[in-house]
Amino acid sequence: MSSRIRFVLATLLGIAALSVVHAETCLSPFVKRLDRPEKFLYVYCVDADAKDNDFVAVVDVAKGSKTYGKITYQLDLGSKGNETHHFGFTDDRTHIWGMSLFSNRVFIIDVATDPAKPKLVKTIENIGEKAGFASPHSPYALPGRMLLSFLSAADGNLPTGLAIFRNDGAFIEKLTMPDDAPYGYDVAIRPDLNRMVTSSFTYFNNYKKPLAKFDFKKFGNDVLIWDYRMKKVRAKLKVGAAPLECRWSLKKQNNYGFTNCALADSIWVWEGDKNDKYTARKLCDTGKLPADLRQSPDDRFLFVSCFVSDEIQQWDVSDLKNPKLVSTLKPGVQPNMMHVTGDGKRMYITNSLLSTMDRSNDFWIKLAHITPEGLKLDETFHVDLTKFRTGPARGHDMLLN
């Protein structure tokens, strides 16, 4: 056996070994995965009455720790009224980029120097200025860069788009949504297929209003399939109203993915055929207002939080022609964001969607166990987000470290 062949085999074994531990789902595929159980849960919090600064709550989730299930640190973000919403790791997992839907600020947070006490290293005011966009929504790591999806044009209307930044925050380039599909929301890439998918919600001048005043005709219902390397739209697919999260199948042989259509109470699937032609269809009806969509590491289950019907549904999607509802959990009022652990055994849950959409002031973080019998709420784990010195906080997105 030649030295070259030996090394290629070693390489393949190395990759196989890495893929076993790389099991966290719903992160950019370029983000370094945790190779151990989680110790810290970061929760991106909005001060509920917008009178005090927004913050990141650090919850101790290390099993056996004396402070397990407690908030051990709060990182003050230095400003209020941001509507802190989604946040995401850089590719090397050393920093988190935090988005804000009302202020256009981006917070760059160091989580490597001391993961127990994250540090705010930079605040970028008006992140969309050079791209001509506003309302940064999804941060998505690329190698050495961050891809951000926006909800609005600079004036709070449409069209919106995507923009790419260096990890230090410098603007690189923008992609404007096409005239006939001008909305934006989430973004997800399958590198092996060279495909990127984007979804569509509504824009700032609509969602900034109280829910009762939303114009529900002003929501997108398109999923776009892009050639990622050429950054061109290849297919525009009609789906239910307000497709939100974009989740590609985790298995390399599968050229399909899922989105939760919030205003159509359903999950839709997009599928590419052997000729690389894409179509979309409704996969299943869900509870009311499916707000978040998560995957199990084995690609078998989808978890969908139904914000209005107060439930989380677990769907077996191993057979796309016959999806099965296998479990339903009622964790409390208006469940929204979920985060599934890398081993696929636990799920953290928060319950704020948007300050203009929440209907309850009872904010919390809960934990569900994903068992062979379905989702089971852990009654011993309950983080109350209403008792801060500054009053209640709306917890939204979560990350583990």
Partner 1 sequence: MALQQFSIGNCQWSIVNWLSAIVCLAFCVSITQAVERLPVIQKAPDFDLMDQSGKRVRLADFKGKVTLVSFIFTTCNGSCPATTSRMAKIQEHLEKKSLLEKGVRLISISLDPARDTPAVLRGYMRLYEADGATWSFLTGPPEKLSKTIAAWGMWAKPAANGQLDHPSRVFLVDRKGQIREIYNLDFLRVPWVTEDIEFLLREKH
Task: Confirm or reject binding of residue 167 to partner 1 (CB under 8 A).
Answer: yes
Question: What is the token pair recorded at 289?
Answer: 């207002």
Footprint of partner 1 on 20-39 (CB under 8 A): 29-30, 32
Binding segment for partner 1 among 230-238, 271-279, 307-315, 331-339 (CB under 8 A)? 230-238
Each residue 133-152 as x (binds partner 1 by CB under 8 A) or -, in order, gives ---------xxxx-------
* 256 CB-contact burial (10 Å; exposed 0-12 / middle 13-18 / buried 19+): buried
Task: Confirm or reject binding of residue 175 to partner 1 (CB under 8 A).
Answer: yes
- Closest contact distance (angstroms) between CB of 219 and partner 1 is 24
Task: Confirm or reject binding of residue 176 to partner 1 (CB under 8 A).
Answer: yes
Q: What are the contacts of 102-110 at 24+ separation with CB within 8 A?
A: 102/204, 102/208, 103/79, 104/128, 104/134, 104/135, 104/136, 105/79, 106/136, 106/139, 106/148, 106/169, 107/77, 108/169, 109/56, 109/75
- Closest contact distance (angstroms) between CB of 225 and partner 1 is 16
Q: How far is CA 400 from CA 57, 143, 341, 397, in A?
A: 12, 20, 8, 11
- Asked whether 392 and 48 are in contact (CB, 8 A), the reply is yes
Each residue 188-217 as x (binds partner 1 by CB under 8 A) or -, in order, gives ---xx-x-----------------------
Give dist(CA 308, CA 376) in Å, integer.
20
- Asked whether 259 and 246 are in contact (CB, 8 A), the reply is yes
Cβ atoms < 10 Å from Cβ of 71: 19
Task: Confirm or reject binding of residue 131 to partner 1 (CB under 8 A).
Answer: no
Give dist(CA 97, CA 95) in Å, integer.
7
Each residue 310-339 as x (binds partner 1 by CB under 8 A) or -, in order, gives ------------------------------
**Residue 396, SS3 per DSSP:** strand
Task: Confirm or reject binding of residue 7 to partner 1 (CB under 8 A).
Answer: yes
Task: Confirm or reject binding of residue 122 to partner 1 (CB under 8 A).
Answer: no
Question: What is the token pair recorded at 286?
Answer: 């869900």
Q: Which of 102, 100, 88 is nearest to 139 (CA)?
A: 88
Binding segment for partner 1 among 3-11, 211-219, 261-269, 366-374 (CB under 8 A)? 3-11
- Closest contact distance (angstroms) between CB of 255 and partner 1 is 15
Query: Total residues contacting partner 1 (rule CB under 8 A)?
Result: 35
Binding segment for partner 1 among 50-58, 187-195, 268-276, 344-352 (CB under 8 A)? 187-195
| Closer to partner 1 by Cβ: residue 187 or 347 | 187
Task: Confirm or reject binding of residue 231 to partner 1 (CB under 8 A).
Answer: yes
Task: Confirm or reject binding of residue 94 to partner 1 (CB under 8 A).
Answer: yes
Residues 6+ apart with CB under 8 A from 370: 296, 301, 314, 340, 344, 345, 346, 347
Per CB under 8 A, residues contacting partner 1 are: 3-4, 6-8, 10-11, 14-15, 18, 29-30, 32, 91-92, 94, 142-145, 166-168, 170, 172-173, 175-176, 191-192, 194, 229-232
